[in-house]
Structure 1
């Protein structure tokens, strides 16, 4: 019953309750993002949703305009504290996870859940092997099992297997544990950035991640 009905009800109710907080964040942080390099406040990123449906995931822009798209050797997106693509305010909102706050809108629209596997890039589906497509069986989340317990400290392929573990075991109790563990990780700002050094540049016509 939780999987079919209550999880979605809880998602929508909590997202609506948190909307005023999102408005305060936008009022305070939005102008700073714009003034730093006169670029857009938002970065709308295509992502893989439930059953492989592609949707636009909303984020506050943390990178400079026309920043190159860097990837780790395994194809996952590069994310490091010393990343020169990050703006000053961008580094702050990354550390505090404020850049993810607009995903409340994705939750209300039905693209995402509060808790679930973090969504991959559309092209990542071509890199899935074996049972890795199973992470697409449920809505992706703003946070999830990996974000709560590992953040960015393990390889992408290992994160996918953790996502599949969540798909097979998710319950109200597991979601509660992930929610509060995520809150602790965000407050402590633990393991926000990836430490991998092997990166590559791919074509990017966007405005920054």
Structure 2
């Protein structure tokens, strides 16, 4: 199957029907899948540790604790704690519910995409970190501990499992970057992530991972994150 790249989408409701995606266990590149991918993960994580320290100091200067943890679904459905740089105000979940309760359009956007183009909870430093996707950097620790990989599906929260129509996600370690992360991520719905994950699981190789890591540099430089 091919991954569809969408133009700008404004009609949130037309994406609310999840598209079911089939998945077949691949047989290619078994050595890379089992050993090579993990070795490259560990090597590149060690090289990036100074960047984590620099960004954490930047957040502390903004008056906030730099790190926080959230639950995510890992390979095989196992729940793990994901590390991120703090980009939102305290009690962000309560602030979100209060905002959505008084804004019907934002509620429809959140239900379709599980994110907001204009999220009032994000701090000034947080806007920069999210635009550049640098708020994801502490997940290098999750890569080092084996909960994640440098390249893989976007980690999803436990409460999002019912919104996800695919199966390939559960055969992979979630990734710091991946096909969805370097694509039209701001235009595709949450359910459409399954298409990217199915394509990646079918085609995963060292060459594909290298292309996605290089593409991630372009995403960071263009500042397309939200």
Tell me the TM-score normalised to structure 1 length.
Answer: 0.82
- Could you give the per-residue CA deviations for residues 96-145 of structure 1, whole angstroms, max 9, x where no partner exists? 2121111111110111100100111111223333xx13211010000100
Where does structure 1 differ by over 6 angstroms across 4 or more consecutive aligned residues?
none
Tell me, in whole angstroms, the C-alpha distance in 1 between the residues paired with 2:221 and 2:163.
33
Listed as ranges, the matches of 1:139-158 within 5 Å are 139-158=173-192
Q: Which runs of 5+ in 1 are unaligned?
A: 194-209
Tell which deviates more after alignment, 61-70 or 5-14: 61-70
Q: Compute the RMSD of aligned alpha carbons.
A: 1.6
Tell me the TM-score normalised to structure 2 length.
Answer: 0.76
Structure whose residues are more often strand by fraction: 1
Listed as ranges, the matches of 1:1-209 within 5 Å are 1-27=31-57, 29-33=58-62, 35=63, 39-67=64-92, 68-69=95-96, 72-74=110-112, 76-80=113-117, 82-129=118-165, 132-190=166-224, 192-193=225-226
- Could you give the per-residue CA deviations for residues 73-93 of structure 1, whole angstroms, max 9, x where no partner exists? 23x42232x321111111111
- In structure 1, the partner of 2:22 is none
Native 8 Å contact 1:146 1:162 kept in 2: yes
Residue correspondences, number: 183
- Could you give the per-residue CA deviations for residues 6-48 of structure 1, whole angstroms, max 9, x where no partner exists? 0000001110111122122222x13124x1xxx4322211000
Q: Between Structure 1 and Structure 2, whose CA radius of gyration is higher?
A: 2
